[in-house]
Structure 1
Amino acid sequence: MMKFLKIFFVAAFVSLAMIACKSEAKKEEAQEQKTETLAEANPQELSLNISGMTCEIGCARKISSDLSKKEGVLEANVVFNDSIATIKYDANKTNKADLIAFVEGIGSGDMYKASETTKKADEKSCDADCKKECCTKTEAEKKACKEDCTMACCAETKKA
């Protein structure tokens, strides 16, 4: 009985080792293919204004998830509050018109409208009717230092 258990455990160990080696080889092969694909890629970036989103989880995440799975898309970021999607894609595999059509086809097909914009998801800007102090300042006023500021950038400005 003891010999049988030893033989069984040795056979199980050898089997597991072989399976683990095969899966590790597959991972390495997939990584090599991904590296080759990125080297051959023609990366481009597209910002889309998306109307029709009603929530962050159901809409923005769904669009981001679907875009991430689309062939040729390297990265997709959808910001619900700004209604902006920033998409990095391989121009060898897809194009702007295809990505816009893809976004508009998500859901029931008439739920979202997408159009190209120059604003990116991480850029902040003021609305035309914004009356907040930060929005009404000119660029020079925004960069001006306060009298009691002790930051290095202000110290250099005061010396000049």
Structure 2
Amino acid sequence: MKTFKNIIICTVLTLLFANCKHEAKPEVKTVTTETVSALDQNMRYAKAEFTVEGMTCAIGCAATIEKKIAKMNGVTYAKVDFEKKLAMVEFNESLVNLDLIEKTVTSVADAYKVTDMKTVGHFSVK
């Protein structure tokens, strides 16, 4: 019985020492990033501000409108300030126009109305 225990102990110790010698080396991964194409460099971006009437809360109304605008192809920035009823959007002019932004806002709910839409050089509040 003693011999059997000694054999098991020796086997376990041998396995432990053998496994410790096989250290895992860190895996190296190479990640490539996309470069901006010449087409992207030539695109024109515009900024627009407008008032959104009909919002009743910041979490439901303003956040929902902001998410809808942000998901539009060509929109790079969207922010809706519930307190000021102000929406600010930066977009690629070749993909998005002011009419399309207005239709997106009014399609969220019939209660929302867009007024005072204008393009700006800089946002009044960010």
> Shorter-chain TM-score: what band?
0.5 to 0.7
Tell me how far 1:52 sits from its aligned partner. 1.4
Q: For the Cα contact (< 8 Å) 2:105–2:114, is it kept in 1?
A: yes
Match of 2:53 in 1: 51
Tell me how far 1:89 sits from its aligned partner. 1.0
User: How do 1:128-143 and structure 2 match up within 5 A?
Assistant: none
Tell me how far 1:122 sits from its aligned partner. 3.1
Greater relative contact order: 1 or 2 (C-alpha under 8 angstroms, separation 6 or more)? Answer: 2
Match of 2:22 in 1: 6
User: How do 1:1-160 and structure 2 match up within 5 A?
Assistant: 1=15, 2=18, 6=22, 9-10=24-25, 13=26, 16-18=27-29, 21=30, 24-25=31-32, 28-29=33-34, 32-33=35-36, 38-106=40-108, 109-118=109-118, 122=124
Q: Which runs of 5+ in 2 are unaligned?
A: 1-14
The percentage of counterpart residues that share the same residue type is: 21
1:120-143 CA-partner distances (Å, limit 9, x unpaired): 8737xxxxxxxxxxxxxxxxxxxx
Tell me how far 1:51 sits from its aligned partner. 1.1
Aligned residues: 107
Match of 1:149 in 2: none
Matches of 1:46 and 1:88, distance apart in 2:
6
Query: Of Structure 1 and Structure 2, which has the larger fraction of its residues in strand?
Result: 2
1:17 aligned counterpart, secondary structure: coil
Q: Which runs of 5+ in 1 are unaligned?
A: 124-160
TM-score normalised to structure 1 length:
0.55
Tell me how far 1:4 sits from its aligned partner. 8.4
1:13-68 CA-partner distances (Å, limit 9, x unpaired): 3xx323xx2xx32xx22xx24x7565232111222221111111221122222212
Match of 2:7 in 1: none
TM-score normalised to structure 2 length:
0.67
Tell me how far 1:87 sits from its aligned partner. 1.1
2:88 aligned counterpart, secondary structure: strand
Matches of 2:49 and 2:20, distance apart in 1:
65
Structure 1 runs (4+) greater than 6 angstroms displaced: none
